[in-house]
Amino acid sequence: MTPRSFAALHARHVWRGTLIAALLNACLYPLDVLRGRDIGPAPWWPVLGASAVGFLIAAFILVVHRRRPQGVHLGSALFILNQAAILASAQIMGPYQLQDPNLIPFQVHKLGALTVAILAPERWAGLLCIFAFALIPVLQFVRLDPAQQARIDTSEPLVLLVYGAVGAVLLLYRLRGLATERALVQAQTEAADARRTARLLLAVRDLSNTPLQVIALASAAARRRSPGLGEPLDRLDRALERLRALHQPLKAYEADLEWRPGDESIDAEAVLAAAGEEARIRRSSASV
């Protein structure tokens, strides 16, 4: 894979994570209205508004981005926007949901921190969202009056911080695994390119052997027939020796190659033709 291919793979990863997060917001977050339906006159528009943001982001990706790919920074920005809409909705709905003693507080923030750890497209965007999901409810808890704080377990701020720490660790572990896989693919690609180059050089060597042998035989025959041509023939022989010396470094490539059945009778012309075709395909794909 070329660096351009790796960049395209990273872009697909960024936009796929943003799309899944937006779809989860658009399809599942409206259920939060049902979760707090017994808490009195709680507004429904914050939840549906956040879901609408997720729907618009998903529609943008499916309609616009697929036709005309956008940059990865925009994908990460839309991911953050999606999480910001959920946070804003949870911030508005929080005081209403605290009126129900049966509701577990800050569920949206805990689930959001773990969801971001799984889907965040980039490290900086993921850590930013995780810290927001973990710290904003803690600040909200601190600003509550004593009567409202009494309805919440005093360990809840610590639990939120634990969720944030776990989410950050999961995010870093996932991204580290992706980076390791990409490095492995890069190493395998470079090794394959090196083997391809070695086969190409060996094919050139094999094709040049016969002309060099013909020139050497012709030089020897000319030396026997015309002894007076010794000086120019000596220069020709020295040039042949230099060409033969170029073959010596290729023996290292030949020893390192993984020979498969049938390679002992390799068709040098076919190897060169295949290399030319691959180069043409790479140039055409790079120009697209």
Same domain, 119 and 143: yes
Q: How far is CA 88 from CA 84, 91, 249, 287, in A?
A: 6, 5, 66, 44
188-205 in b/e form (b: 16+ CB < 10 A) is: eeeeeeeeeebbbbbbbb
Q: Does 38 have pLDDT greater than 70?
A: no
pLDDT at residue 279 above 80?
no
Same domain, 113 and 233: no
Alpha-carbon distances of 201 from 30, 197, 198, 255, rounded to whole Å: 63, 6, 5, 13
pLDDT averaged over the chain?
82
| pLDDT higher than 80, residue 254 | no
Could you give the angle at which helices 72-97 and 45-60 cross, rounded to 10 degrees? Answer: 170
Closest by CA to 137, choosing from 169, 113, 114, 160, is: 160
The whole-angstrom separation of Cα 158 and Cα 144 is 16
Q: How confident is residue 250, by pLDDT bands cut at 50, 70 and 90?
A: low
pLDDT digits (tens, 9 = 90+) for 207-248: 777 777 777 888 788 878 877 777 787 888 888 788 777 767
For residues 241 and 161, which has the higher predicted lDDT (pLDDT)? Answer: 161
Last residue in a domain, options 185, 200, 217: 185
Closest listed residue to residue 114, CA positions, set 75, 170, 30: 170
243 lies in which domain range?
192-287
Domain boundary among 143, 161, 185: 185
The greatest distance separating any two alpha carbons of the chain, rounded to the nearest whole angstrom, comes to: 116
Q: Give the separation between CA 27 and CA 24, rounded to whole angstroms.
A: 5
Q: What is the pTM of this model?
A: 0.73
Residue positions counted in the chain: 288
Residue at a domain's end among 155, 185, 215: 185
pLDDT computed for residue 268 by the predictor: 67
pLDDT at residue 260 greater than cutoff 70 = no
Query: Is the same domain home to 122 and 257?
Result: no
Residues 157 and 30 occupy one common structural domain: yes
Q: Do 170 and 247 sit in the same domain of this protein?
A: no
pLDDT tens string 44-81 = 888 999 999 999 999 999 999 999 999 999 999 999 99
Q: Domain check: are 138 and 29 in the same one?
A: yes
Q: Can you tell me the distance from the alpha carbon of 179 to that of 168, in angstroms, rounded to the nearest whole number? A: 16
